[in-house]
Chains A and B, each alone.
Chain A
Amino acid sequence: MEEKTGIEGTVETKYYTFDYPKYLTLESGEKLEPITLAYETYGKLNQKKSNAILVLHALSGDAHAAGFHKGAKRAGWWDEMIGPGKALDTEKYFVICSNVLAGCRGSTGPASINPKTGKQYGTEFPIVTIKDMVNAQLRLIEHLEIEKLLTVVGGSMGGMQVLEWMISYPERILSAIPIATTMKHSPQQIAFNEVGRQAIMADHNWNNGDYYLGSTPDRGLAIARMVGHITYMSDVSMAEKFGRRRKSNGTPFKFDSDFEVEGYLRYRGDNFVKRFDANSYLYITKAIDYFNILNGKRFEAIFKNLNAKVLVLAFKSDWLYPVYQSREIVKACKLAGVDTTYCEINSTYGHDAFLLEVEEETHLIKHFLKTVFNGQGNNSN
């Protein structure tokens, strides 16, 4: 095994505010201005600028993918995959991760100030799509003067952005790694998101999205997150993690969080509201639900302009983004003659596996990237 260490020192979030032009034209036709993207980078861009990797985060993620912020106890959300000797080896590659448009972790979103009113946008914020998120990322990549990305990689909603890069900017990527994702959100997936949104909107603090000067809809957002967490796990992983264990032997049937699983969900929900904006949750889940790159197109037409190598990963116990959805991506790649590798990783973690099955993912991604990188005439090893 190669030595694995963390990223040295601390990392910092950087900010890029769009200029020339200052606006971004959204898919809806609306022009949004100003736009800032929060992003982090790890490793060094080589002279040929051929070692840049764009990491795309999922619904609740942010730009802080790896390393430690100053004074922080917790590392970035994909720290186990990014760093010296890791899958995305920062000794070799330059890794970029940005917070999505409509996010609430430093990028422009509904909690940002609307220059027309001087107040937070709230629900005045325009509808944003996965493609808009990718278009914004392209501006960041251009700002960093990177012509072509070695790879774009992400799971879940991050995977949707990967797919969007594959169809919208095929000439900008050498390879792509969509993980545990789908070409279109299914009714079941939309349904779970809708329960989350309804929980937020039913919280009277939500106040039609205008809550930034008062109390925030914490209960609603926490419940949304609880529902989310259930869908990210599997029956097996929950049984293993919690069983029917109870926190106390006290009197049952009080509506306290007695079972461990209840405590866990409450804890997760309560923690989430400290770092996430409810309106962002509404906007981003809508962007996910509207995602559909099939959209009446024939399967063989979807990736017809793609000349990149693709690695599709799915997890057997993922019932939120079941393997059949990844197989459809593979099918579209096959029909378009795209050079593709597909692996269904045996995991019991459910959808969360893309954050947890580090060893399997590391092995596959590391060697896949090595093939892509060396295939471009870069030095081996």
Chain B
Amino acid sequence: MIKQSSKLEHRIILNWIRQSASVLDLGCGTGELTKMLVKEKQVRAQGIEIDEQAIHKCVVNGLSVFQQDIDTGLAEYQDKSFDYVILSQTLQQVKKPEFVLKEALRVGVQTIVSFPNFVYYPARFQIFFKGKVPVTPSLPHEWYETPNLHFLSISDFVKYCVRNKITIEDSVYIRKNKKVKVFPNFFAELGMFLISDKTVN
């Protein structure tokens, strides 16, 4: 996974996670976040990552990681077998985001999802006035090289959760390493959600 993660994003995830919890990090990249969670919260962490070179870096970071395509699902894990499943800027890069999200909600007691908000105002500006697909600090890739396969907004995700009876336990919105309090769908470049599916046991 190619990530544009910020320190603030990592700190928020760190605050959400309980001491000594078990964590499954889907699309863990080179394992920077996971490493921090192990160090500061003594979590028992498992990463899943598709890129071989990223896995090499995870191993240097002392992390346990499986090379796997998360689009194939998490069939080997029982329901609620992790305290937290993390999808940090992963969801928009998978082929089957709904399937991956459902699997995360099934396997994790709580799930942490973060994604770039595709409709924050610089992006809207570029689409509306320049007539081009936005290239911004949080969406830094041109259309022909972007790893992002799906584009969603904070509003889209909230609506999806409501429609599918997914409980939003907390949410944080970020722009330029600061929290956004008003009109996040317009101002925030990153949406972060702590969610759970109470219908799965």
Contact = CB atoms under 8 A, between A and B. Distances in A.
Bound together: yes
Interface in A337-373: 339-346, 360, 363-364, 367-368, 370-371
Interface of chain B: mostly helix, strand, loop or mixed: mixed
A331 interface: yes
A168 B66 CA distance: 24
Contacts of A344: 52, 67
A334 interface: yes
Contacts of B66: 330, 334, 340-342
Interface residues of B, number: 17
Contact of A367 (B46, B52, B60): B60
A335 interface: yes
Contacts, number: 47
A334 B76 contact: yes
B62 A367 contact: yes
B165 interface: no
Interface string B76-92: 11000000000000000
Contact of A331 (B56, B59, B76): B76
Contacts of A371: 59, 62
Interface in A41-63: none
Given A331-B76, A360-B56, 18 more contacts: A330-B66, A334-B66, A339-B44, A339-B46, A339-B64, A340-B64, A340-B66, A341-B63, A341-B65, A342-B67, A343-B52, A343-B59, A344-B52, A363-B56, A364-B56, A364-B59, A367-B62, A370-B62
Interface of A: 309, 311, 330-331, 334-335, 339-346, 360, 363-364, 367-368, 370-371
Interface of B: 44, 46, 52, 55-56, 58-60, 62-68, 76-77
24 contacts: A309-B64, A311-B59, A330-B66, A331-B76, A334-B66, A334-B77, A339-B64, A340-B64, A341-B58, A342-B67, A342-B68, A343-B52, A343-B55, A343-B59, A343-B67, A344-B67, A363-B56, A363-B59, A363-B60, A364-B56, A364-B59, A367-B62, A368-B59, A371-B62
